Amino acid sequence: MTSLSGVLYNHVLYRLLYTAQLSSNRCFAMNSTPQVSVLFVCLGNICRSPTAHGIFEALVRDAGLDGWIRVDSAGTGDWHIGKSPDKRAMAAALGRGLDIGHLIARQVRPSDFDQFDYILAMDRSNLSNLERMRPPSFAGHLGLFLPFAAYAGQPLETDEVPDPYYGEAGGFQHVYELVEQAARGLLAHISQHHPRSI
């Protein structure tokens, strides 16, 4: 006959093993699903950064890396919070078969520095605004976006995405082309520096 202390002993042992298994599963899950996160930033989050967001998200998806690389975008300004991308940015993207109409503008927040590995600015003005917000603890990469084009073998002549908001429609085509090249380079860079472990 099994003694009461024996039952208790088995119960405690079972709980210990079960807890150990749960925590080892948790460690495994954390190790198997680390993410690289990228935040694209411009002024209004309705022209350049949503274009970058949409293009990069599509490249990531096509490479089968969604779930591994997280993508978002934001503006340093607050004027367009809650709005869809500018119609001209949406038209330039749709002309190349990319729908960015689901994106909604938001403003950069301090917690973005805790949550993103790459915070990439479209121009130097955006970058200096971000540098003012940067907490000393931020260990990620804060910089301009376009220089990443070099990782796709196509360094660009400019390192800033020009603000197309007050310009003509052609400006949006130009933004799209610059951003697409840098997005390809960024994906090559991330694939090289953050290889997927499983």
The catalytic residue positions are 42, 48, 163
Q: How far is the CB of 125 from ligand 4NP (least distance, A)?
A: 9
Summary count for the chain: helices (H), strands (E):
6, 4
Nearer to ligand 4NP, 52 or 59 (CB): 52
Q: Would you give the end-to-end CA distance of the chain in angstroms?
A: 49
Nearer to ligand 4NP, 36 or 100 (CB): 100
> Looking at 12-20, 41-49, 108-116, 178-186, which segment touches ligand 4NP (CB under 6 A)?
41-49
Collapse the DSSP code of 142 into the 3-class scheme (helix H, G, I; strand E, B; otherwise coil) and give the result: strand
The count of residues interacting with ligand 4NP (CB under 6 A) is 11
Collapse the DSSP code of 155 into the 3-class scheme (helix H, G, I; strand E, B; otherwise coil) and give the result: coil
Q: Which residues on neighbouring strands pair with residue 193, listed in sequence order?
A: none
42 near ligand 4NP (CB under 6 A): yes
Q: How far is the CB of 27 from ligand 4NP (least distance, A)?
A: 41
> Looking at 14-22, 26-34, 38-46, 129-137, which segment touches ligand 4NP (CB under 6 A)?
38-46
Nearer to ligand 4NP, 72 or 163 (CB): 163
90 near ligand 4NP (CB under 6 A): no
46 near ligand 4NP (CB under 6 A): yes
How many other β-carbons are positioned within 10 Å of the β-carbon of residue 183?
27
- Sequence-separated (6 or more) residues with CB below 8 Å from residue 57: 66, 71
Which of 116, 108, 122 has the alpha carbon at shortest distance from 161? 122
182 near ligand 4NP (CB under 6 A): no
Q: Locate 64 and state its tokens.
A: 């089968």
Angle 87-94/169-193 helices, nearest 10 degrees?
70
Which positions from 162 through 181 interact with ligand 4NP, judged by CB under 6 A?
A: 163, 165
74 near ligand 4NP (CB under 6 A): no
> Please, are residues 43 and 74 in contact by the beta-carbon 8 Å criterion?
no
The residues that touch ligand 4NP, with contacts defined as CB under 6 A, are 42-48, 75, 79, 163, 165
